[in-house]
Amino acid sequence: MRIETIKAYRVLQPFVDGPYKMSKGRHADAFDAVIVSLGADNGLVGWGEMAPLGTFYSDAFAAGAQAGVAELAPHLLGRDPRALAQVNRLMDVVFKGHPYVKSALDMACCDLAARAADAPLVTLLGGRESETAELYRVVTHGSVDTMAKLAQRIVGDGFRRLQVKVGGDVKGDIERVTAVAAAVPKGTVIFCDANAGWTPFQARQFADATREIDYVFEQPCVSIDECLSVRRSLGKPMVLDESVVTLENLLEIHRKGVADGLTLKISRIGGVSKTRALRDLAVELGFMVTVEDTGGAEIDTAAMAHLSLSTPEERRLHAIAFHDWVTVKTAVAPPPVNGSRMGIPDGPGLGIDVLAERLGNPFLELGQGK
Ligand SMILES: [Mg+2]
């Protein structure tokens, strides 16, 4: 089986609920996605998707993803997509760094490999551990009142897990989280995600003033060592997200005892294959794990769902359904969402049917019979 054709599309995916807001004024109105299709010589087609969150979230930006995919894709023509380790090694040799550029291409190879095996991707990722995964919703950064009302609405919609954005002015964030915690029923799971917005001094001030509230502290500061210094005086679980890019990061976090859990983002790590490797090691080392991504819609959410459901249930934190965030629909049979839980579509590979006619004209077309 060989990759014969490659197409890449740019798809803008506006948010249903308006701008997505993080601390320090960081916000985005849409995901700006790159979607790739790989056509194989046996007629199968595999799909991959990558979308950064604006230009501020990770070391990635939409125009970079488009330019990078155009630069890297020709190297995959003629390759066997099932040889995932070889494909990833090749991508790392010919294109140094820039894991986000490789993510959609690897995802499409994984989709093809599973379709060729006539198996759902979850089977190739270690096997299905449960029928569904619990979803969380984000309480984006805003006024005390707005955040408390949004949290109430989300809980009213049946969700039990909230990620509350903090990392702005400490005094205000203490008020915001206190109001959110008071607005939701006891037992609601709260993550306070600072998105690396604080110094250790600020993070400790926040943690000290909110110690009566039950929450998990997510990525308070930029570096692993800064987070470690917060961790030493923290009586709560900690999860790192932005700090987890490479296997070395994971091992350092483990060695130093910085976190109890990790959020693995597919595009930040460089694709499904590498995320699976980090996920498996994280599980072995005793971490709690969330597998998600920086953005996307049906294709990317399907990949997240296959990775989430192949993570042992007792080690899984939660998942997210990005296709419910955006106003565009790029595939049918997306991961089914029932209340606060998400499953995976039936069928081989990612299990979705991409609506190619909705993607517009490709910005890249390679190979015979394009
Ligand atoms: Mg996070």
pLDDT-derived band at 88, boundaries 50, 70, 90? very high
Domain match, 330 and 226 both: yes
Percent of the chain with pLDDT over 90: 95
Is 370's pLDDT higher than 60?
A: no
d(CA 56, CA 54): 6
Cα dihedral value 346, 332, 139, 198, nearest 10:
80
Q: For 181-216, write each residue's pLDDT tens digit.
A: 999 999 999 999 999 999 999 999 999 999 999 999
Q: Which tokens sit at 52?
A: 């950064």
pLDDT-derived band at 122, boundaries 50, 70, 90? very high
Domain match, 46 and 172 both: no
pLDDT-derived band at 20, boundaries 50, 70, 90? confident
Q: For 320-344, write each residue's pLDDT tens digit.
A: 999 999 999 999 999 999 999 999 9
In the reported structure, the alpha carbon of residue 139 is separated from the centroid of ligand 1 by a whole-number distance in angstroms of 12
**Amino acid letter, 202:** Q
In the reported structure, the alpha carbon of residue 82 is separated from the centroid of ligand 1 by a whole-number distance in angstroms of 31
Is 363's pLDDT higher than 60?
A: yes
Compute how many other C-beta atoms are within 10 angstroms of the C-beta atom of residue 303. Answer: 36
Domain match, 267 and 305 both: yes
Q: For 347-357, write each residue's pLDDT tens digit.
A: 999 999 999 99
In the reported structure, the alpha carbon of residue 58 is separated from the centroid of ligand 1 by a whole-number distance in angstroms of 11
User: What average pLDDT score do residues 72-90 get?
Assistant: 98
Domain match, 27 and 127 both: no
Please say if 165 is a catalytic residue: yes
Domain match, 156 and 273 both: yes
pTM of the complete model:
0.97
In the reported structure, the alpha carbon of residue 74 is separated from the centroid of ligand 1 by a whole-number distance in angstroms of 34
pLDDT-derived band at 26, boundaries 50, 70, 90? confident
Domain match, 106 and 151 both: no
In the reported structure, the alpha carbon of residue 53 is separated from the centroid of ligand 1 by a whole-number distance in angstroms of 12
Q: For 297-322, write each residue's pLDDT tens digit.
A: 999 999 999 999 999 999 999 999 99
Domain match, 95 and 176 both: no
d(CA 236, CA 132): 27
Asked if 111 and 119 count as a contact pair (C-beta separation under 8 A), the reply is no
d(CA 114, CA 352): 12
Number of domains within the chain: 2
CATH of the domain at 21: 3.30.390.10
d(CA 292, CA 227): 21
In this prediction, residue 25 carries a pLDDT of: 85
Please say if 329 is a catalytic residue: no
Q: For 130-177, write each residue's pLDDT tens digit.
A: 999 999 999 999 999 999 999 999 999 999 999 999 999 999 999 999
The three-class DSSP label of residue 265 is strand
In this prediction, residue 369 carries a pLDDT of: 59
CA-nearest of 118, 2, 103, 122 to 47 is 103
Domain match, 162 and 66 both: no
CA-nearest of 98, 89, 91, 92 to 75 is 91
Range of the domain at 9: 3-119+354-367
Catalytic residue, candidates 186, 265, 329, 370? 265
How far does CA 254 lie from the centroid of its chain?
A: 21
Domain match, 59 and 149 both: no
Catalytic residue, candidates 7, 21, 102, 165? 165
d(CA 366, CA 25): 40
Radius of gyration of the CA atoms of the chain, in A: 20
The structure tokens 């955040």 sit at: 147
Percent of the chain with pLDDT over 70: 99
Is 368's pLDDT higher than 90?
A: no
CA-nearest of 116, 192, 113, 115 to 151 is 192
Asked if 249 and 263 count as a contact pair (C-beta separation under 8 A), the reply is no
CATH of the domain at 168: 3.20.20.120
